[in-house]
């Protein structure tokens, strides 16, 4: 019992490291890592690919957008000259995922950092959501995580090393209006990572790092003019994500003050949560995204 209490104390101290400014915390070297990023042909995936290339990593990008893949690869070649491999892959199709995974292992080697970033969304009232889009969204946003992890985790288990990253969302913690299916997939992604963490820990594979990233909505083409604390710049989110990965953090909200959402939600009535979102002008953000789809 005394040992257990000591361990709890140590783990609490580890959790409190989040309060230490980043400038005082060590970063790991990823120059020898093979990093695979789903959805790397554009947007947030491209930003992460560029940052890993800047750190000297071998970068592998998957996407269904061939033009986007070529653009990302060309930008990496032009700016950094590091190795970048691009594969057309539909992550919603497990057969395609497993096939491309075998190609990656043969062409490049074992993936040491897996980043599940690919994601899509539809924005509408719950009863107006198209069934076929809901199914597609679940395949891309969460089922693909199962296929990629099953494809690349075995080599990590063999070496008891590696890193799996899930780009989830604060929407997986606090549900947003007109995003019911999207929020459901992000909540599933968070739970998957929590379950996988405990499974690896009890299997004695604690050197495999897991990082779950929960940003608020990013300012994209669908949210250029919105003014809300629930919308952040993609470059800021990418920098925060890289910091979290390089420091082997387990769970990160972006911005960091969104930890309050995680802490307070279980004890506050739903009406209070909604009122808090309203004070932060969240509704403006959600409606802006909605108007961009119509």
Q: CA angle at residue 287 from 286 to 290, to 5 degrees?
A: 95
User: Do residues 50 and 74 make contact, with C-beta atoms less than 8 angstroms apart?
Assistant: no
Active site (annotated) includes residue 197: no
User: Do residues 49 and 59 make contact, with C-beta atoms less than 8 angstroms apart?
Assistant: yes
236-269 as b/e: b if 16+ CB within 10 A: ebbebbbebbbbebebbbbeeebeebeeeeeeee
**Looking at 87, 98, 182, 259, which residue is catalytic?**
182
* SS3 state at 113: strand
User: Do residues 57 and 34 make contact, with C-beta atoms less than 8 angstroms apart?
Assistant: yes
* SS3 state at 92: coil
Report d(CA 266, CA 157) in Å as an integer: 34
Q: CA angle at residue 125 from 120 to 126, to 5 degrees?
A: 80
Report d(CA 165, CA 211) in Å as an integer: 5
Report d(CA 37, CA 118) in Å as an integer: 8
Please identify every residue annotated as catalytic. 182
């Amino acid at each position: 019992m005394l040992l257990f209490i000591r361990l709890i104390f140590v783990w609490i101290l580890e959790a409190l490291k989040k309060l230490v400014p980043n400038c005082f915390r060590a970063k790991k070297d990823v120059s020898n890592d093979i990093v695979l990023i789903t959805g790397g042909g554009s947007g947030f995936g491209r930003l992460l690919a560029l940052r890993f290339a800047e750190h000297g990593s071998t970068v592998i990008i998957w996407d269904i957008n061939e033009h986007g893949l070529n653009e990302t690869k060309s930008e990496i070649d032009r700016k950094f000259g590091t190795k970048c491999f691009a594969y057309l892959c539909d992550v919603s199709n497990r057969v395609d995922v497993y096939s491309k995974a075998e190609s990656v292992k043969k062409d490049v080697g074992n993936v040491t950092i897996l980043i599940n970033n690919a994601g899509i969304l539809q924005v509408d009232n719950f009863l107006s959501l198209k069934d076929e889009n809901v199914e597609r969204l679940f395949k891309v946003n969460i089922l693909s995580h199962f296929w990629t992890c099953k494809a690349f985790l075995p080599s990590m288990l063999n070496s008891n090393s590696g890193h799996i990253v899930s780009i989830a969302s604060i929407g997986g913690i606090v549900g947003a209006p007109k995003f019911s299916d999207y929020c459901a997939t992000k909540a599933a992604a968070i739970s998957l990572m929590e379950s996988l963490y405990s499974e690896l820990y009890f299997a004695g594979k604690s050197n495999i790092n897991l990082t779950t990233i929960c940003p608020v909505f990013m300012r994209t083409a669908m949210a250029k003019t919105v003014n809300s604390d629930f919308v952040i710049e993609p470059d800021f989110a990418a920098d925060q994500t890289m910091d979290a990965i390089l420091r082997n953090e387990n769970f990160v909200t972006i911005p960091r003050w969104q930890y309050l959402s995680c802490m307070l939600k279980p004890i506050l009535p739903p009406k209070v949560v909604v009122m808090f979102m309203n004070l932060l002008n969240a509704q403006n953000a959600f409606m802006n995204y909605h108007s961009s789809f119509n």
